[in-house]
Amino acid sequence: MAELKPSVIVIFGASGDLAHIKIFPALYSLWEEDFLPDNFFIVGFSRTKFDDGAFRKTIFDSLNVNCRKSPIGEDEFSNFSKHVFYLTSKYDDDYSYKELGRFIESKAKEYNMSKNVAYYLSTPPSIYISVIDGINNAKLVSNEYKGDGFSRIVIEKPFGYDYESARELNGKILSVFKEEEVYRIDHYLGKETVQNILAFRFANAIFEPIWNNKYIDHIQISALESIGVGFRAGYFDKAGVIRDMMQNHMMQLLSLVAIEPPPVPDADDLRNEKVKLLKSVRSLSLNDIKNYTVRGQYDRGVVGNKDVLSYKEEEGVPPDTITETYVAIKLFIDNYRWAGVPFYLRSGKRLKTHKTEIAIYFKKLPYSLFAKVGIENIRQNSIIITIQPNEGIAINFGAKAPGFKFDIEPVNMVFKYKSSFKLSPPDAYERLIYDVITGDQTLFARYDDMLIAWQLITSIINGWAKTERPSFPNYEAGSYGPKEADGLISADGRAWNNE
């Protein structure tokens, strides 16, 4: 088991949603399962006025809604919450950071521990630079190599707005922290099912030999949501699906399903392979952007028997918005393994179903024995890796249907996490926060894989600015997206997996 050094976790933006919905529930579950060091404390840093007691009360209330350990009794909570403190602070005020420094110093003395600090930026991205400057000016970054405690920085997505802004933010962070101290969160990587892609591919002898262009026809990666923009309209309308999903989650899934096996499954080797893979993704010309990408925005419709508004009508969305709520892209990876295999990526909101999956379709039989007895169109074999919900893997193959007649029907061999392991996977944030404390960067984006992904996505955004935009809205809420997205894949004689 990894070493759990006494640690301090400072959460900037601690009054916010992410802290309450994800970060504190993860910290509580880790604490309850003994995955936090014996000596640790958490400091909330944000502007809203709270004393420790009032802040702890907000955490207690939200744990009982959002934590997988709920219901949580007051006694159990008070054992946890004695480690939680709050400083009412300002993000652009050096004095607040000096106070933070003094607080950490005095508490570390009281706890008799070294100052191992993880700074978690859970504010809107517009505040990141102020926080990094504040940490730097107050000299809150220690030098681990001189025997001080560690200093680590955890940054939430979105990391930048486009290639240039991501590069600038990265430069700023690296002027204060070393790359091995930087933890860029893509919470998809903390999901058990995403990590299982590597186990599935590289811990089994039967799949890897057929994981290439000789046997695989095409791969679909889908992240479909039935929910709309919810309370995140302010953020989402500036980002759109291309930044919110494609640049990070979808590129990470693409990398994991397509990378070469790393020499060692550690942070550096794994991320080196990702960089190699992303560098092999063929860049898109303006013509490719016209032909290989589709954008959409939802209109009114019916989702789960409920009438829902169009995107433009959602609360907080400007009525003249041109932000896309759906994107489909066809990509090619120019390397020996994948030459000629199309990767179809799609993600959108207010769709008919909620699912994230990778569907691997194998080539059709080179010769069909059963065509001679009138059985045509035997379905292609496929492997469906479901990331969420109903986490698992299904292998689809043809089987003889029972009876005197010789018929072949598709059947599924299914593995489900819940039934096989009899437990639900921990939340991604638990795994990621644990890795920050133990210093394992394997499941975090490195500066180069993040920037290469931004290069591709920025080229698409720039290409869209030069090409005619479809008239929005162009798909009905509760459908599978714009008809042009069906056209993108059907033009190649294929279809999306909408099962």
Ligand X SMILES: NC(=O)c1ccc[n+]([C@@H]2O[C@H](COP(=O)([O-])OP(=O)(O)OC[C@H]3O[C@@H](n4cnc5c(N)ncnc54)[C@H](OP(=O)(O)O)[C@@H]3O)[C@@H](O)[C@H]2O)c1
Query: Which positions are annotated as active-site residues?
Result: 249
Question: 3-class SS at 348?
Answer: strand
Q: Among 158, 151, 79, which residue's Cα sits nearest to residue 120? A: 151
Task: Report the residue number whose CB is nearest to ligand X.
Answer: 16
Of residues 391 through 420, those in contact with ligand X by CB under 6 A are none
What DSSP string describes 268-330?
Answer: HHHHHHHHHHHHTBPPPPHHHHHHHEEEE-EEEEEETTEEE--GGGSTTS-TT----SEEEEE
Whether the CB-CB separation of 219 and 380 falls below 8 Å is answered with no
| Cα–Cα distance, 417 to 391 (Å, whole number) | 6
Of residues 435 through 494, those in contact with ligand X by CB under 6 A are none
Number of residues lying near ligand X (CB under 6 A)? 20
Tell me which of 4, 5, 37, 48 binds ligand X, using CB under 6 A: 48
Nearest-5° Cα angle at 37, 32 to 39: 110
- Pair type for strands 326-332 and 293-296: antiparallel
Shortest Å, Cβ 195 to ligand X: 19
Q: Residues 73-92 vs ligand X: string with x where CB under 6 A?
A: ------------------x-
Q: What are phi and psi of 147, to 5 degrees?
A: 90, 0
Residues present in the chain in total:
499
Which is nearer to ligand X, 223 or 360 (by Cβ)?
223
Which is nearer to ligand X, 16 or 398 (by Cβ)?
16
Question: 3-class SS at 174?
Answer: helix
Q: What is the DSSP letter of 159?
A: -
Which is nearer to ligand X, 22 or 218 (by Cβ)?
22
Shortest Å, Cβ 388 to ligand X: 14
Shortest Å, Cβ 482 to ligand X: 26
Number of H-type helices and E-type strands within the chain: 16, 17
Shortest Å, Cβ 174 to ligand X: 19
Q: Residues 232-271 vs ligand X: string with x where CB under 6 A?
A: ---x------------------------------------
Tell me which of 83, 115, 157, 312 binds ligand X, using CB under 6 A: 157
Of residues 197 through 236, those in contact with ligand X by CB under 6 A are 235
Q: What is the DSSP letter of 244?
A: I
Q: Among 89, 94, 115, which residue's Cα sits nearest to residue 13? A: 89
Whether the CB-CB separation of 81 and 64 falls below 8 Å is answered with no
Shortest Å, Cβ 187 to ligand X: 7
With tokens 């190699």, the residue in question is 276
Q: How many CA atoms lie within 13 A of 265 on its CB side?
A: 11
Which is nearer to ligand X, 351 or 432 (by Cβ)?
432
Mark 364-375 as b/e (b = at least 16 C-beta within 10 Å).
eeeeeeeeeeee
**Of 2-10, 44-52, 208-216, 420-428, which part binds ligand X (CB under 6 A)?**
44-52
50 binds ligand X per the rule CB under 6 A: no
| Cα–Cα distance, 402 to 217 (Å, whole number) | 29
Q: Residues 113-132 vs ligand X: string with x where CB under 6 A?
A: ---------xxxxxx-----
| Cα–Cα distance, 90 to 19 (Å, whole number) | 17
Can you name the residues that pair with 119 across neighbouring β-strands? Answer: 10, 153
Which is nearer to ligand X, 20 or 218 (by Cβ)?
20
Q: What is the DSSP letter of 479?
A: B
Which is nearer to ligand X, 58 or 474 (by Cβ)?
58
Q: Residues 310-329 vs ligand X: string with x where CB under 6 A?
A: --------------------
One-letter amino acid of 32: E
Question: 3-class SS at 124?
Answer: coil
13 binds ligand X per the rule CB under 6 A: yes
156 binds ligand X per the rule CB under 6 A: yes
Which is nearer to ligand X, 127 or 129 (by Cβ)?
127
Shortest Å, Cβ 14 to ligand X: 7
29 binds ligand X per the rule CB under 6 A: no
182 binds ligand X per the rule CB under 6 A: no
Which is nearer to ligand X, 129 or 395 (by Cβ)?
129
Shortest Å, Cβ 77 to ligand X: 21
- Laid out side by side, the sheet with 298-303 consists of 306-308, 298-303, 475-477
Tokens representing residue 488 in the block:
């993108």
Shortest Å, Cβ 219 to ligand X: 26
Tell me which of 10, 11, 18, 27 binds ligand X, using CB under 6 A: 18
133 binds ligand X per the rule CB under 6 A: no
Shortest Å, Cβ 88 to ligand X: 8
| Cα–Cα distance, 497 to 499 (Å, whole number) | 6
**Of 8-16, 445-453, 474-482, 487-495, which part binds ligand X (CB under 6 A)?**
8-16
Which is nearer to ligand X, 49 or 416 (by Cβ)?
49
Of residues 349 through 368, those in contact with ligand X by CB under 6 A are none
| Sites of contact with ligand X (CB under 6 A) | 13, 15-19, 46-48, 91, 122-127, 156-158, 235
